[in-house]
Amino acid sequence: MKRKYIGLLVLFVVTGSVWGQLGSRPSGFSDYRSDDMELSFHYPNGWFVLEMDGGLTVANREALLESVDTEMDMPDLKPGDTAMVIGMMPTFFMMMMGIPTDDITMILDGMFDNIVSSDEGNLDNSATEVLEFEGRRVATVTFDDSSQDASGIFLVAHEQEDVILFGVAYGYRDSLDRNRKQLARTIASVEFTGDLASMLQ
């Protein structure tokens, strides 16, 4: 009865060469850099980051990270919790699936349909919302799974030509609504500084 984060979430967070410049940190955020994954991003102050087995999870409660495992099952959520897995995918994968890459909402729709799934029950998603931070656009959609008490938000940014950055966040609806902008700002700040050729080897 657990929802799975598909392996794509961690499959493409690998290799690279030179660090780029992480944009200016917004007030109320901290910096995170992963030498192994060659990703950098900002995340809300007081939140926690877990880097494990090629995956990155950001959560608003440290104990929540203890329930994250390598199978990427939904963490053990309590009211007030929010956890988000951060991932990336080469842009050309979207093109191979026939998803236009010049419209952030079409990328979101295509990725949501291919990545988010329910083991049982039906997914019901809300309208897409696009948020902007310092010129970076993030498309988001909230979804509910009839087999779960928790809800989710799928977030997508496409600021780097070669890769699409995304997050899948889980929590109870009120927590997700309260944290939506912080989650979107986190995804807007993610930078992959590797090169695509080495990433695909």
DSSP 16: -
Residue 75 in domain: yes
Which pLDDT value is given to residue 14? 34
Which pLDDT value is given to residue 77? 87
Count of domains in the chain?
1
Greater confidence (22 vs 56) lies with 56
In this prediction, residues 95-108 reach a mean pLDDT of: 89
Residue 13 pLDDT level (bands cut at 50, 70, 90): very low
Q: Which of 155, 188, 182 has the alpha carbon at shortest distance from 60?
A: 182
Per-residue pLDDT tens over the stretch 126-181: 878 999 998 899 999 998 877 778 888 999 998 888 899 999 999 999 999 999 99
Cβ proximity of 8 and 195 under 8 Å = no
Q: Has residue 66 got a pLDDT over 50?
A: yes
Residue 49 in domain: yes
Residue 2 in domain: no
Considering only the C-alpha atoms of the chain, give the largest distance between any 2 of them, rounded to a whole number of Å: 44
User: In CATH, what number is assigned to the domain containing residue 29?
Assistant: 3.40.1000.10
Per-residue pLDDT tens over the stretch 72-95: 566 778 889 999 999 888 898 888
Residue 131 in domain: yes
How far apart CA 155 and CA 111 sit, in angstroms, is: 10
Q: Is the pTM of this model over 0.85?
A: no
- What are the helix and strand counts (H, E) for the chain? 6, 11
DSSP 130-164: EEEETTEEEEEEEEEETT-S-EEEEEEE--STTEE
- Backbone Cα Rg of the chain: 15
